[in-house]
Structure 1
C-alpha cells in the first residue's frame, strides 16, 4: 500500500504519531522504574549539547544549535538506565550462582543495577567473587602471556570513546594480533565494505546541512522513529519546506508516517502532527534490489521521453561521463529486466514504483538513506551498490543537498573504525604506528565477528576480551556458541551492568565495572573529556558530571591501560600511566596517527555541531579501483540468498520501542501496538489463514536452512500484523538462535538478521 495513511485495522498496530505524549509517557515510565534522582533532569538537559555529554544510544548527529532538550525517548531511556540507583554488588553475586542467573531474562539481569566492584569467577562456588583491580590486571596478563596472541579476540562495542578505542587497538597490535571485531560487524560492516567498494568511502557522504537543502529523501530499511528519533526533527522541517519523502520498508513504522514534536507546545496541545512519508511502499524483505531496479527503469524511461520531447537529458550526463565506471553495462541490465520480475521480487506494484520514480526525477537534490534493513542480508552490499547506481544517474553524489547517508546505530561505532578498531591491516596507518611506538604491527588479517565465532566453535580461539556490549546475546548461532564459549581459557567483560554474556564464562573469567559516559571521570590531571564520531562524520567532545555509581569503578581508558601495562613489555614510548592521567595526550596521538582527519584535535573537540573529519567522496574524489564511482550490476533481484519454497518464510528480526540493541528497557513496543511481551510471531491475516493458524496460538519457528543443523525457538504467540506476504517478524535477540553463522552478507560477513529462512511448527 503506497498511501501512508492506510492501515490494516484488523491487525495489531499503533494509531498515534511518533513523538507526542506517547514519547513523554515512555520516558516517564523509565524514569520511575530507574528510581533516578531529580539530578537526572539536569543530566538530560546537558545531553547532546556543546560542552555536555554525548548520548550513549544512537549515533545521530548533534546540531550546532540544539533544542532546549536535545534528547529523544530512546536517548533519555539510555541515560536513565545508566543513572539508576540500583546496585549490583558483591553481596548480590554471593546470593546467586552463575548457573541460576543464566535462567533470568535479559531485562531482569540489567534490572539488578550498576556493577560496583571488579569480580572474578570462582568455579568451585559457581559465583563471582570480589577481586582487587591490580590482582585482576595481573591475572589477565598472566593468562594472555601464556597464550598465542593470534588465539585471542579483543571485541569492542559501539559505545567506547575514540581515546579508549585507539589505545585498545594499540594494545591488540602491540600484543600481536589484529583480531579486533566490533559491533559494526553485526550491523553496518556492509556499509564499511560495500559502500567503500563503490564510492571509495566506508561512510556516508552527507552532513547535517544537506537535510535543509534536499528536495527528496528516499528511505530504505531504516526505522528512524525507534532507532534515531532525533532525526525526526530535521525530517519534519524538511517536509514543512516541501521536501518529499519516500519510504521502502516491509513494516509500516510510525516514525516515517507521522510525527508530533514533543518540544512544540502547539503540537502537544493540539491534534496537529506532521505527515512524514508521501509514499510508503511495503517492500518484501530482501526486495530492495528489485525496488531500486524498478526506480532505475522508470528513470531511464523518463530520460528517453524527455530527450525525445525537449532534446535535453534528464540524466546528469556530465557526472556519468566524468565520475562513473560501468554505467552502460548497468543500463543494459536494467533494460533487460522485466517489470513482472521486478513486481514479483519487490512485492510492489509497477504504478507505485513509477510514482516513486517520478518523485526522484522531479527533485534536483536527493538523499538516499538506509539502515540495517539493507545491510543485514546475504546480498546487502549489492543493495547498497544499487542505491549508489540510482543516485549517480542524476549526479546526486558529492554535492550539497544530496548524497548517500547510512544511519548508524551505536553512539561511536563509526568512530571506532576511524581510529583503528579494524581486523584489516591495510586500513590502519602502520607507518605512523611504527614511528610513534617503535614496533612492527602484525601484518596478518585478523578475525571479525563471524571468524571469531567460528574460531570459538572449533576451539582455536582461547580468549575473549569484551570492551562493552553483550556479544554472546547479539551473535547468530547462539546455542552452539554458548556451548563452545565455555571451552575458552579466558573471558574478560568490561561493562556497566550485568548481562547474559557475563554468565557464559571461560575457565578463567573477570567482570570489570566501568564508568558510564554521564559520570565524572577524574584522573591525575583533573576531570577528563572523551570524544566520539557520529554517523555524519562529525567529532564531538563529551564531559560527564554525575557522581560515579561506585568508588570502585574505573574508566574504560584506565581498564584498557591497566591490562596493557600488566601484559606488555615496558617501553619508553608506551606511557600508559601518563595517557590515563591526561586523555589530551591520547588525542595528540590520534592526531599524529590520522593528521588529515584530526588536525588540531584538542582545540576543536567542543566545536558546536562537532568538527568534520572530512570525506573524499563528498569532494567527488573516488578512492575506488577505477578512480570513479563503480556502477555495479546485482547478481539477481533477491538479496536474501535463498529461494522461495512452500511453507518457507522470510523472518525479519525486530527491535522494540523499549529496546536498544540487546538492552531491554521494558515490554512496551508502543509504536507497533504490542504490550507486555516479546514472545510473539508477527504475521499477516492472509498468511495465518493459509497456514491454518489462529490468533493467540503458541507456535515455534524452525530454521529452514540446508545445513543439517536443527534450530528452533518456541513459545511464540501468533499475532496478526501488517506485513507483506511470505514473511514473519519476531524480536531480536530472542530469535537469534535461528540464524546460522553462515547466513551473512557475502562481502562483509554481516549476519543476515533481516531475512532468515524459517518454517512455522504449530
Structure 2
C-alpha cells in the first residue's frame, strides 16, 4: 500500500468553485457596494476599465465574465466600504501601527484625506492639498536633484507615468526606478541585447496558432489566471504544454473553467501540462542546455536522411554566434546537465523531442527565470532554444515573458527608466525647450544602496509598498528615517507609510475603478498589456472620498510647486484634459503612439509594434544573438552541506505585497503565512518534524546576520536542496547584493539559507495562534 501523502496540497483544479468561493469571501469581507457587480461586469471589456491586477490582455471579444479570481479581488479591494480617515490616525501612533500585520493595515480601507507626518505626536495629521504641494516643492528645491528618487509601482496609467518621468527630468535626474526593476528588468536587459527588443514578441493571437508551449517559472493559476482560458483551448486542440518549475503549480496542471456551466456542474477538468518537470531552483540553464543538446543530436540524425531539424535558412540569414554556442552545447556532458538541473537525461530528452517535432513553439516564462543571480543567462538560453528552429518572428511562435502589474511594461514605454538611452531625450529637449539629464539614474537596488549610505535624501513613491517589496528590509527601515523627505501616493495604508522621513506626506489618490472628472469632464486613461497592446480605461464608480485627487493631478501639483515656469510645460491644461497628455506622448513617441487618441478604444487594444517580431534585429551585430552562458547554474552560489536554495513565493490570496487573506487554496495552506515548505525526504535528513517551529538564517557570505523566526515546518512537494516560503515575509533574508549580475533584479528565487532549530522553540500546536490561523495538509 502506498504511503499516505502528508504534503500540503490541493486536490481540486484551478478555477472551478474554489475561485467562486474566493471571490465571494472578499466580497463579504469588504462589504463592497452592490454596484460592485456592475463594475466587475465592465472589467477588461471595451468601454470599461482595465484590471488593476495583472497585465493580461483585454480581448476584442471578451467573455461574459472577463475577470479572474485575483482580478475580482483587486477590484473589490478598491471598492471596499471601509475608510481610513484622519480619526483613525488620531487614534494610532506610527510606532503602534508598525506592530500590525500587512493584512490588518490594508483592512482599514481607503485613505480619504491628504496627511502630513507630525514627529511630536508620531501621528499623521490632515492637511490641505496646496499645503502639501508647497511643502514638497520647497523641500525638493532645497535638495540636489540627483539626491531624490522618484519610484513608481506598475499600476499608474500611461498618462501619469509620462508626466512623472517628465517631472523627474525637468527637476534634474533620471532616478526613476520602478517595480519592473524587481521582477522583469532581467527580461528588458537580456532581450534588448539578444534580439534588439526589450519586451516579448508574442501577441495574443499567437496562442491560438502554436502547436507547442514551453513554460518556465510562471504560476499562471495565481498570477495571471485569465491566461488559463487560452491554455485550456490550446490543450484541447492538442498543443503540447511542457512545464519546468520547481513547484507544482495547480494552474499549470488542471483547470475547470468557472465560465462554463457544464464544467462547473459536472466537475470536468482539463489537463494543462502534457509534461511537468520539477527542475532545481537555478537549474533552467542546464535544462535548456540539455534540450539544445538533443536538438543538435536530432539534427545530426536527420542530416543522414537528407533532412534538417535546425532552421538553417533562418539561422544563416538572421542569427549570429551559433558556432560558439553549438561547440559549448556539444561539449557539455549529460552528467553535468543532470547534476545542475536535478532532472534525468531521459526526462529532458523527452521534453526536447516534443520541441524537435513541433512546427510553431512559444517560450513562456515568469520570474522563475528572471529573479536569479544569473537570470540573464536563463532568458538568453531560452532565446537560444527558440532561435535553433526559427521560432521568433513567425505567427504562432516567439518569446513571451508574462508581466505582472497591469501597466508595468507601459510605464517603461513612456519614459519611466533610469537608463537615458531608452528615452527619446532629443525629442523631449525640443518638445519642451529643456536640457534633460543624460547621466544614468538609480535603479531599485542602487536607490536602496543610496538610502543606506545617505546619498539619497528624498523619496517620492507613486503607489506600491516599496519598503515591503525590497531586499534587506531591516537595514532599509533603519536607514529610511534618515531621509529628509518622503512622499507616498496611495489608495490604502501599507507598511511603507509607517516609516516616515523627517518631512513626510501621505497623498490619497483615485483608484482605476473610480470616476475621474476634471475641468473638461470625465477622463479616460490608458495601459499597456503584456502583449504590447494599448487599451483605454474608463471608470464610473463614485470616489471613496471627495478629497481624493487623480494621479496625474497629484504629479502635476508637485511639479508645479517644484519647477520654474516653462510655457511649453502646461500642467494645468494637461490635467484638465488627458487627451492633451496623450498628444504629448504621441509627439515624444510617434512610431508607437501616432493617432493615440483616435486609437485609444480599439477593440483588443492597438499594437505598438515590436521590431524583433518583424525580424528586424536592433542588436550590435544586426542579427539575433546566440549567447554562451558562463555558468550552468543561475543560483549564483555553490552548494554546501546544510545550505538550501530558498524560493520566495506568492500565495493564491495575494498580489505582490497586497495580502487579501490567509488562504493559499491552490497549495492547501490555510490560516497562516508563517510556513517553511520542504519535501519529506529533506525533513528526515534534517531531523525536522512536521509542525516544528524553526528559523531561517541567511547563508550569504557577507558577514551580515539576517534571520526570520517562527516558521512552521510543512511537508510539500519540492526538489531536493530547496525550500519554499512566502514573499514579502522572507525579504529580510535577501542581501541587496544578491541580484542578477546584468539587470540587478533581486534574486529571490534562489536565496542561500540555513535552517535553525532554536532552543525553546515548540511545535506549532504548542503555541497560541491568532484566531482562525492554522496550518494543515490538505
Same fold (TM over 0.5): yes
Tell me if the contact between 1:399 and 1:618 (Cα under 8 Å) persists in the aligned partners: yes
**Segments of 4+ moved more than 3 angstroms:** none
- Inter-partner Cα distance in structure 2 for 1:316 and 1:441: 45
Alignment of 1:660 with 2:655, yes or no, is yes
Aligned to 2:223: 227
Q: Provide the alpha-carbon RMSD of the alignment.
A: 0.8
Alignment of 1:495 with 2:495, yes or no, is no
Decide whether aligned partners of structure 1 residues 8 and 454 sit closer, same or farther in structure 2, where only a CA change above 3 A counts: farther
- Inter-partner Cα distance in structure 1 for 2:61 and 2:291: 36
- Alignment of structure 1 residues 303-342 onto 2, 5 Å: 303-308=299-304, 310-342=305-337
- Inter-partner Cα distance in structure 1 for 2:4 and 2:142: 61
- Inter-partner Cα distance in structure 2 for 1:317 and 1:290: 24
TM-score between both structures, scaled by the size of structure 2: 0.97
Tell me which of 612, 622, 625 is aligned to 1:627.
622
Tell me which of 174, 180, 184 is aligned to 1:178.
174
Unpaired segments ≥5 residues, structure 1: 1-5
Deviation at 1:435? 1.3
Tell me which of 707, 732, 736 is aligned to 1:737.
732
Aligned to 2:426: 431
- Inter-partner Cα distance in structure 2 for 1:300 and 1:443: 45
- Inter-partner Cα distance in structure 1 for 2:230 and 2:3: 25
1:706-739 deviations in Å (ceiling 9; x for gaps) = 1010000001000000000000000000010000
State the secondary structure of the residue aligned to 1:682: strand
Tell me if the contact between 1:8 and 1:722 (Cα under 8 Å) persists in the aligned partners: no
Deviation at 1:436? 1.0
Deviation at 1:271? 2.3
Deviation at 1:126? 0.3
Aligned to 2:565: 570
Alignment of 1:589 with 2:594, yes or no, is no
- Inter-partner Cα distance in structure 1 for 2:176 and 2:566: 23
Aligned to 2:543: 548
Deviation at 1:589? 0.3
Deviation at 1:8? 8.5
- Alignment of structure 1 residues 625-704 onto 2, 5 Å: 625-704=620-699
- Alignment of structure 1 residues 262-277 onto 2, 5 Å: 262-277=258-273
Tell me if the contact between 1:50 and 1:606 (Cα under 8 Å) persists in the aligned partners: yes
Tell me which of 210, 213, 229 is aligned to 1:214.
210
1:636-672 deviations in Å (ceiling 9; x for gaps) = 1100100000000000000000000000000000000
Tell me which of 282, 285, 289 is aligned to 1:289.
285
Deviation at 1:9? 2.5
Aligned to 1:505: 500
- Inter-partner Cα distance in structure 2 for 1:351 and 1:98: 57
Aligned to 1:242: 238
Unpaired segments ≥5 residues, structure 2: 758-778
- Inter-partner Cα distance in structure 2 for 1:157 and 1:491: 16
- Inter-partner Cα distance in structure 2 for 1:637 and 1:261: 39
- Inter-partner Cα distance in structure 1 for 2:303 and 2:600: 50
Aligned to 1:448: 443
Aligned to 1:343: 338
Deviation at 1:241? 1.1
Tell me if the contact between 1:244 and 1:277 (Cα under 8 Å) persists in the aligned partners: yes
Decide whether aligned partners of structure 1 residues 7 and 96 sit closer, same or farther in structure 2, where only a CA change above 3 A counts: farther
Alignment of 1:607 with 2:594, yes or no, is no
Tell me if the contact between 1:515 and 1:556 (Cα under 8 Å) persists in the aligned partners: yes
Deviation at 1:306? 1.2
- Inter-partner Cα distance in structure 2 for 1:398 and 1:222: 23
Deviation at 1:10? 2.6
Aligned to 1:10: 6
Aligned to 2:126: 130
- Inter-partner Cα distance in structure 2 for 1:740 and 1:171: 32
Aligned to 1:160: 156
- Inter-partner Cα distance in structure 2 for 1:541 and 1:485: 37
- Inter-partner Cα distance in structure 1 for 2:332 and 2:46: 51
Aligned to 2:33: 37
Aligned to 2:764: none
- Inter-partner Cα distance in structure 1 for 2:616 and 2:48: 35
Aligned to 2:365: 370
Aligned to 2:400: 405
Aligned to 1:60: 56
- Inter-partner Cα distance in structure 2 for 1:361 and 1:616: 26
- Inter-partner Cα distance in structure 1 for 2:264 and 2:295: 41
State the secondary structure of the residue aligned to 2:593: coil
- Inter-partner Cα distance in structure 2 for 1:381 and 1:62: 29
Alignment of 1:256 with 2:252, yes or no, is yes
Alignment of 1:300 with 2:285, yes or no, is no
Deviation at 1:7? 12
Decide whether aligned partners of structure 1 residues 167 and 224 sit closer, same or farther in structure 2, where only a CA change above 3 A counts: same
Alignment of 1:725 with 2:708, yes or no, is no
Tell me which of 61, 65, 80 is aligned to 2:76.
80
1:444-479 deviations in Å (ceiling 9; x for gaps) = 100000000000000010000000000000000000
More deviation in 155-164 or 299-308? 299-308
Tell me which of 40, 45, 48 is aligned to 1:49.
45
Tell me which of 88, 91, 96 is aligned to 2:92.
96
- Inter-partner Cα distance in structure 1 for 2:366 and 2:443: 20
- Inter-partner Cα distance in structure 2 for 1:724 and 1:514: 44
State the secondary structure of the residue aligned to 1:540: strand
- Inter-partner Cα distance in structure 2 for 1:252 and 1:638: 21
TM-score between both structures, scaled by the size of structure 1: 0.99
- Inter-partner Cα distance in structure 2 for 1:95 and 1:187: 37
- Inter-partner Cα distance in structure 1 for 2:338 and 2:11: 29
- Inter-partner Cα distance in structure 2 for 1:582 and 1:186: 33
Tell me if the contact between 1:485 and 1:506 (Cα under 8 Å) persists in the aligned partners: yes
Q: How many residues were matched structurally?
A: 756
Tell me if the contact between 1:532 and 1:541 (Cα under 8 Å) persists in the aligned partners: yes
Tell me if the contact between 1:377 and 1:745 (Cα under 8 Å) persists in the aligned partners: yes
- Inter-partner Cα distance in structure 2 for 1:163 and 1:53: 15
Aligned to 1:421: 416
Tell me which of 533, 539, 543 is aligned to 1:538.
533
Decide whether aligned partners of structure 1 residues 8 and 552 sit closer, same or farther in structure 2, where only a CA change above 3 A counts: farther
Deviation at 1:242? 1.2
- Inter-partner Cα distance in structure 2 for 1:353 and 1:250: 14
State the secondary structure of the residue aligned to 2:710: strand
Deviation at 1:204? 0.2
1:142-175 deviations in Å (ceiling 9; x for gaps) = 0000000000000000000000000000000000
- Alignment of structure 1 residues 378-389 onto 2, 5 Å: 378-389=373-384
State the secondary structure of the residue aligned to 2:592: coil
